[in-house]
Every structure is written in structure tokens, then in C-alpha cells.
Amino acid sequence: MALLDDRLLWIGGQYVAASDDSFFDTLNPATGEVICRVARAGAEDVDKAVAAAELGQREWAAMSGAERGRVLLRTAQLLRQHCDEIARLESLDGGKPIAETPEADVGSAADCLEFFAGQAASLQGEYQPVPGGFFYTRPEPLGICAGIGAWNYPVQIAAWKSAPALAAGNAMIFKPAELTPLSALRLAELFKDAGLPDGVFNVVQGFAETGQALTAHPRIAKVSLTGEVGTGKAVMRAAADTLKGVTLELGGKSPLIVFDDANLDNAVGAALLGNFYTQGQICTNSTRVFVQESIREKFIEKLVARAGKMKVGDPLDPDTDVGPLISAEHLQNVLAYIDKGKAEGGKLLLGGGRAEVPGCEGGNFVQPTIFDGLRDDMTIVREEIFGPVLSLLSFREEGEVLERANNTEFGLAGGVFTRDIQRAHRVADRLDAGIVWINHYNLTPVEMPFGGFKQSGIGKENSRRAFEHYTRLKTVYVAAGDVDSPY
Ligand code: NDP
């Protein structure tokens, strides 16, 4: 028997059944049990959501920025009030440790809504005198935006996409990943409780074809996707038919470079955070850890000792550090990468297989895994694994490590640990990555632009920069004199 009641689609401020009344199951990754059935949206449902969003968006865009900001702020307050409940839901649906979800998921979503609540009244254009008159510009909402989410940070992604979109006066139709559809619906309920007009935020659960229906829809102006590189390319190609704008937050294989003058404990802490938080299912993770040769042994000793103490367990247990991977299929992918690492000659320093968790026999658990003895051309060093697998590499000098760090099709993030301030900034300058952390890793405050280079994506989320991707700039010329026409 399912744990929760069926979940329907959220369209026009209420729950509605899918047109063909179809459902899919969402599972608990810690046990393999069905949590509940979830309505599956088809193209007809996407049409309904678009019609509802058009009505809602007109009302919403006519409100002042300050009024819109108040609604977003109230939503953030409600999220914080219901933090425990939503964090639990997120841990149940996504397998994320309950030690993480209150802050990293619910808190991060609330931070984002608060930030854009404060920005909603501050969208400004410019004014400039020009020959014969002047012009001004108006940042206008795009209309209806689609958000398509990945499964690793479900409620955070829903907020990172909807908060700037709504603050700028757009409506959003959000499709959560089919593996984690529950928390976006809870967010939709809280938006309504906070006073959001019906139709401004809609949730259509489903699979790739639901995303395709959104991407192809002629009355949707923009699509923002978080997902894999291949999905990003498919979305961009499909968006070309209606010339939609796209924001793409895609995968990575990011480097963390540790120089011999670094604070070793901090660097080890960052390498652990950047590989094992959320079971390693984080796009920006520092999966290639480059350590300068002279400190290699010390670094390894500290790293393996601390990683070995991490507790793999039931995500609802507050002592758990590492929960299950999202699905049985993803577990097989990650195990296949581990096997490839071994077959290609990698040396295991820790882990390297499935983990058993008493009471969670059907769960998708993997041991935190550390490989040494690797070369840059090995599969596990080149490809995104999206699991708790750290690749250790060593280097001699700065120029060499920069060249190797940048030798990838990805360009999402990177980190450098050193006490040499000039070297820190030089490395930050030369890393070909959208986000660089100096002496830390994976912190993403909402004030900071977030997004990748190269095949890791297009556009930025968070910060005021996000508005550039959710507004269109209209230029208005105003004549100061008569029309001097030769005709
Ligand atoms: P996917 O690319 O498989 O899926 C992302 C979303 O796109 C899902 O909702 C999926 O639907 C949907 N989708 C799949 N195919 C299409 C299509 N053709 N058209 C429209 N929508 C489609 O990614 P995952 O969910 O597996 O997430 C993991 C990936 O996300 C990793 O590569 C990771 O690096 C990346 N990621 C990037 C982040 C960033 O900010 N840069 C942050 C987090 C993750 P369905 O529900 O069927 O899966």
C-alpha cells in the first residue's frame, strides 16, 4: 500500500487529474517502496496549464513589483514554517539525508524567494538623451516561462527558477523530474496560501515527453532547464523551432586544486563536501581532486580517515551522512563507473561497491568511494558519474595543473586551495569555469550568480543577473521635435 494519497497536477491554483487519467509511481530510494501515485501530464494538460498561466500572468504582471514581492516573501515565510515537513518529504522522495534537507533544500529555496521578493520592486530601465530626443528602456516580463527540474535538489530548483521569473511578472509552468515530483506541489500550495493569483505557478508532473511538450509550446516564451548535457542540447534544439530563450544548468566534472601551502584540513573538508554531500549527486562537485605531489601522502591520510567515518544509512536518520542514490537504474550506472575505474587500473583507497543498510534492504546505497592511481584519460576522470566517487590526481606545478583542469568539455565550477593570494586569483582567472571557489567549495548563496561555461550551460541563475533571463528589454524612442521628412 502506498504511503501517501495520489498526487494530481496543479493547474490554475488547484489539483486536477491528467486528461487521460494516467499516473506513475514515485518511489522511496531508501527502500524501493511506492510513496504514492502521481498524475502524468500529457500535451493536452500542458495546453491547459498554458491557458491558466495566460490568465494568471495578466493579473500578476498588472500588480506592482512591491505587491509581487510581498507574495514571494510570504511564501518564503510559509516554507520556513513548514520546513520540517517539507524537508522530510524531500528526504523521502529523493533519499537525501535529513541532516541536509532543512537547510540545503528548504532553506535554500526560502533564501531565494526572500532575495527575489526584495528585488521585485527594483526592476529598472535606463534613460538617455540622443540626437532629436531621448530613449528609455523597459524590462518587461516574457509571459509564460517553463521550468524543467532535475531530481537532485527538487524544491531548491523549483524556487531558483520560479522566484526570479515571478518577481519579474512572469507565470511559470514547472515540470519536476519524474523521480522527485512531490515537493514542487507543496511549493505550489504554499504559493497559493501566500496569495499568488491562480495560474501564475503550475506544476505538470511527467517524463521527458512532458518536458518536450513545454519546450515545443508556441505560447511559452522561455525554458529554463536543469539536467544533463544531452537533455540541454535536445531542449535547445527543440526551442529553436519557436525561437525561445533558454537557460541551461547542466553537468560538470569540476576540478579542485590543492597547492602545498593550503590549509590541509580545510582542503580535505572541501573535497569531502564536494564529493559526498547528497551522495555526490551535485552538478558542481569537485570530482577531480588535484593535489600537489609534495603533500599527497598527508592529504590522502586525512581524506581517507575522514571519509571512512561517514555513515551510510537511512536518510531519515539524523546521524546519516550518505543516503541512497536516487534510483536503482542510477545505482547501476554508478556501479558500472566504479567497475570501469577498477578495470582501467584505478586503485581503490576506499569503498568501491554497494553498501548494505539494515532496515533499508531495497535501497540504492553505494559506499563512499575514493580512487587513486588515475590518469586524466580514464573514463571515470573524464565523465560525470553523479555519485559518491572521488578521483584523486596529483600534479607538480601550476601551469601543468591548469592545463589539465581545463582539459574537459565541461566548465561548470572549480576550486583552489592556497594561502598565496596572488596565486589564488591567478588560478581563478585561468580556470575555464563559471564558478570558482577560493579556499572553499560548493557554497551557493543566492546573491551570487550561478551557471556554467562550455557544455555545462548557458545563462545564470540567482543574483540580479537572473532577471536578464526572465525579462525582455523594450526600447522606447521619444522625439523632442518635428519630423523632418524629405517626402
Ligand atoms: P535529466 O537531463 O535526465 O533530466 C532533467 C529534466 O529534464 C527532467 O525533468 C527530465 O524529465 C527532463 N527531460 C528529459 N528529457 C527531456 C527532453 N527531451 N525535453 C525536455 N525535458 C526533458 O537530468 P537528471 O534529472 O538526471 O539530473 C542530473 C543531471 O542534472 C546531471 O547531469 C547534473 O549535473 C545536472 N544538474 C545540473 C545542475 C546545474 O545547476 N548545473 C544542478 C543539478 C543537476 P524526467 O522527469 O523524465 O527525468
pLDDT digits (tens, 9 = 90+) for 25-38: 999 999 999 999 99
Check if the beta carbon of residue 376 is closer than 8 Å to that of residue 392: no
Looking at the CA of residue 326, tell me the nearest atom of ligand 1: 26
How confident is residue 422, by pLDDT bands cut at 50, 70 and 90?
very high
Q: Whose CA is nearest to atom 5 of ligand 1?
A: 227
Looking at the CA of residue 249, tell me the nearest atom of ligand 1: 41
- Which is nearest to 271 in space by CA: 118, 430, 389, 172? 389
| pTM (global) more than 0.75 | yes
- Which is nearest to 345 in space by CA: 374, 312, 325, 315? 374
For the annotated catalytic residues, the residue numbers are 249
CA 25 to chain centre: 23
Check if the beta carbon of residue 214 is closer than 8 Å to that of residue 20: no
pLDDT tens digits, 297-340: 999 999 999 999 999 999 999 999 999 999 999 999 999 999 99
> Is pLDDT above 90 for 1?
no
In the 3-class helix/strand/coil scheme, how is 44-100 assigned residue by residue? Answer: HHHHHHHHHHHHHHHHHHHCCHHHHHHHHHHHHHHHHHCHHHHHHHHHHHHCCCCCC
Average pLDDT over residues 197-217: 98
Indicate the average pLDDT of the chain.
98
> Is pLDDT above 90 for 2?
no
Q: Whose CA is nearest to atom 44 of ligand 1?
A: 283
Average pLDDT over residues 459-470: 98
Average pLDDT over residues 461-465: 98
pLDDT at 133: 98
Average pLDDT over residues 2-19: 97
pLDDT tens digits, 95-136: 999 999 999 999 999 999 999 999 999 999 999 999 999 999
Average pLDDT over residues 160-168: 98
Q: Report the pocket of ligand 1 as residue ranges, CB < 6 Å.
A: 148-152, 175, 177-178, 207-208, 211-212, 215, 225-228, 231, 234-235, 249-252, 283, 384, 386, 412, 452, 457
Question: Ligand 1: distance of its center to the CA of 149 in Å?
Answer: 6
Average pLDDT over residues 139-147: 98
Average pLDDT over residues 444-464: 98
Question: Ligand 1: distance of its center to the CA of 151 in Å?
Answer: 7
> Is pLDDT above 90 for 54?
yes
Q: Whose CA is nearest to atom 14 of ligand 1?
A: 208
pLDDT at 351: 98
Q: What is the CA radius of gyration of the chain?
A: 24
Question: Ligand 1: distance of its center to the CA of 291 in Å?
Answer: 31
Report d(CA 47, CA 56) in Å as an integer.
14
Report d(CA 415, CA 437) in Å as an integer.
5
DSSP bridge pairs for 255: 288
Question: Ligand 1: distance of its center to the CA of 206 in Å?
Answer: 12
Instruction: For a ligand 1 pocket test, name from 226, 448, 453, 456 the mutation site with the most ligand atoms within 8 angstroms of its C-beta.
Output: 226
Question: Ligand 1: distance of its center to the CA of 94 in Å?
Answer: 14
Looking at the CA of residue 456, tell me the nearest atom of ligand 1: 41
Query: Residues near 482 by Cβ (< 8 Å), separated by ≥ 6?
Result: none
